[in-house]
Amino acid sequence: MRRSKSYRISFVVLFIALVLSLLLNISLGSVSIPFPTVLRAIFKGSIENESWLYIITDYRIPKAITAILVGSGLAVSGLLMQTLFRNPLAGPFVLGISSGASLGAALLLMGASLFSGLVIYGLASSIALALAASLGSFLVLLVVILVANYVRDTMALLIIGLMFGSITSALVGVLAYFSDAEQLQRFIFWSFGSVGNLSWPQISILLGITVIGFLIALFLVKYLNAYLLGENYAKSLGVPLKRSRLWIIIAAGLLAGGVTAFAGPIAFVGLAVPHLTRQIFDTTEHRVLLPAVMLYGAILMLLCDTLAQLPSATIVLPINAITSIVGAPVVIWLLVRKRKLIF
Amino acid sequence: MKDQFLSVEKLAVGYGKTTIVKNIQFGLNEGELCGVVGINGIGKSTLLRTLARLQPKLQGEISIRQNKLTALSSQELAKNISVVLTDPIATRNLTVLELIALGRQPYTNWMGRLNANDVTKINECLQLFQIEALKGKKCYELSDGQLQRVLIARAMAQDTPIIMLDEPTTHLDLYHKVHIVKLLKDLAHDFGKTILFTSHEIELAIQLCDKILILDGAENPFGTTAELIDKGSFTRLFPHEVVQFDPNSGTFKISK
């Protein structure tokens, strides 16, 4: 009934593309390792060169898994927000969740100048940074959920979320103004985004958060489809509006917050991947869109990360810049080719 | 009125502390088509949204088969009342088939997967409304008249005993207006649906509806066309010096 056969073929192609981009991502890097050796390291777990094995298992594979989680998490979060707000410009960060994470990170990295003595420099390790960013995004998410309970109008909630974002960004600005160059630089590096600094325990936390987010999103699929008609129609179809809206926010918040906490505020993926997917699949059915955006998000992130480390043997470009430089022209090309926005 | 299929007792509707219209009282049987008419801003849409429980009532009682509307779960409600609203559908990128299939949501599993019975119902609706040729088209490709038919087909696919429609004839030419109201009449009479719609087309309602509810902000008279003409309800609807009602022809004329 719903072109299920052609969807199946598309999913098989996407899955193969994911595996290929994963292999490509692990194979390429500043140290050149022959492809058969990489394959042996992945599938057998042992190769002659110890340092190569270390690079592959302790650096490249964790980085690739992080890229997959970050890409798919942001893409699903963006899809949820675009459907909830029925706004093509909505992304995972419209509710101020990323700004909350930024504020948390900024307080840790630059707060020392404001509250001298309170913040110990040693704390600014990557785990403390993830914790501070998580706390920031979680607090903003909590406030948004509380507000969502009171505000009936979803569009008003969107504006309130944007206002939260403005307030937290402004606070970050104030912190930045009073910070010294070194602190500011550390914060700016965090805000560039990175998928490369996560340890296995951190990855398992991120995995846990994203899996919970995906599962909630999966249980919301039926309601998300009803939201396509608007809130009143959704209600007349038996959708519990208040409860479903809350769960959509929780899922989107967990995904965006978790990703931002561990990988920094990565732009573009959450906004653009749902559009990219709708244009290519030509559908608004969430049972198709949800797995599709996960795959596209993961592939895009893996490819961008591969590009980010390619240009030079030693320098790795900020992932945030690459996602936009690579992704935006693709979306523009799709829109120009189809001459309309499928939303 | 209490023993009727849909009964409304001393209902007041509005927003928050603002009452828009009160003292609404009527009852409808299965298979009856009822038009809700009245001047602009009197509260027709607010009444319809309240009856469909899209917004809370201020006072009074609404019952379906003598069960209070407020006691129904959202799932039960979705299996009893379907609506066609004036709200534009949020995503016009849906195909006609996808839109009508959404009408089956109250019956599908947690994933929204359609079973054989759902597919049969959807196909029946496509045939009944003669829109099979449109099923692959996107909603933005449809004309206003076609979209209205598709939205009514979606409500029909929801398979509820009651269908409520807010201004279903707005933006349509006379031919399509008549066509839509006749279609509603057929659904009521041939399929036993209880249908209630708001409209500015009083003359159309007079000619085609089984019952009419006139919202006048005071008595809100209800009855068959003949009963309401006898009571002089249409005559009092508009200021006499502007518009006059001719009880013999059932039409309105502009005063000279």
- Nearest 5 degrees, angle CA B234-CA B47-CA B228? 20
Interchain CB contacts (distance < 8 Å): A and B: 81
Which pair of structure tokens corresponds to residue B98?
A: 């996808």
Q: Mean pLDDT, chain A, as a whole number?
A: 86
- What is the per-residue pLDDT across A235-292, written as a single tens digit (0 to 9) for each? 999 999 989 998 998 899 889 988 988 898 887 899 889 988 988 888 889 999 999 9
Supply the pLDDT for residue A1: 47
What class does CATH assign to A4-338?
Answer: mainly alpha
Q: Do B105 and A1 count as a contact with CB atoms less than 8 A apart? A: no
Within 8 A of B75 by CB-CB distance, chain A residues are: 238
Mutate to test the interface with B, among A3, A222, A237 (most CBs of B within 10 A): A237
Supply the pLDDT for residue A318: 86
Q: Higher confidence at residue A322 or residue A130?
A: A322
Q: Do B102 and A284 count as a contact with CB atoms less than 8 A apart? A: no
A122 band by pLDDT with thresholds 50, 70 and 90: very low
> Which regions in chain B score pLDDT beneath 70?
1-3
- What is the per-residue pLDDT across A308-341, written as a single tens digit (0 to 9) for each? 887 656 777 888 888 888 878 877 887 787 767 6
CA B233 to chain centre: 21
- Separation CA A239–CA A231 (nearest Å): 9
B179 occurs within a structural domain: yes
- Separation CA A197–CA A169 (nearest Å): 24
B1 occurs within a structural domain: no
B159 occurs within a structural domain: yes
Whether the predicted pLDDT of A11 surpasses 70: yes
Classify the C-alpha dihedral B87-B92-B98-B100 as positive or negative: positive
Q: Which is nearest to A91 in space by CA: A224, A274, A320?
A: A274
| A298-316: average pLDDT | 83
User: How many structural domains does chain B have?
Assistant: 1
Q: Do B52 and A221 count as a contact with CB atoms less than 8 A apart? A: no
Query: Tokens 């201020």 correspond to what residue?
Result: B58
| A177-188: average pLDDT | 87
Query: Tokens 């016009």 correspond to what residue?
Result: B92
Closest CA–CA distance from residue B64 to any residue of chain A (Å): 16
Q: Tell me the residues of A at the B interface, defined by beta carbons under 8 Å apart.
A: 1-2, 86, 219, 221-222, 225-230, 232-233, 235-240, 278, 284-285, 287, 342-343
| In chain A, where the domains are located | 4-338
What is the percent of chain A with per-residue pLDDT over 90, rounded to a whole number? 34
B242 occurs within a structural domain: yes
Q: Do B94 and A235 count as a contact with CB atoms less than 8 A apart? A: no
Q: What is the CATH number of the domain that holds B231?
A: 3.40.50.300
User: ipTM score of the complex?
Assistant: 0.94
Q: Do A232 and B99 count as a contact with CB atoms less than 8 A apart? A: no
Structural domain for B207, as ranges = 6-254
Q: Which of A81-85, A93-97, A272-276 has the lowest mean pLDDT?
A: A93-97
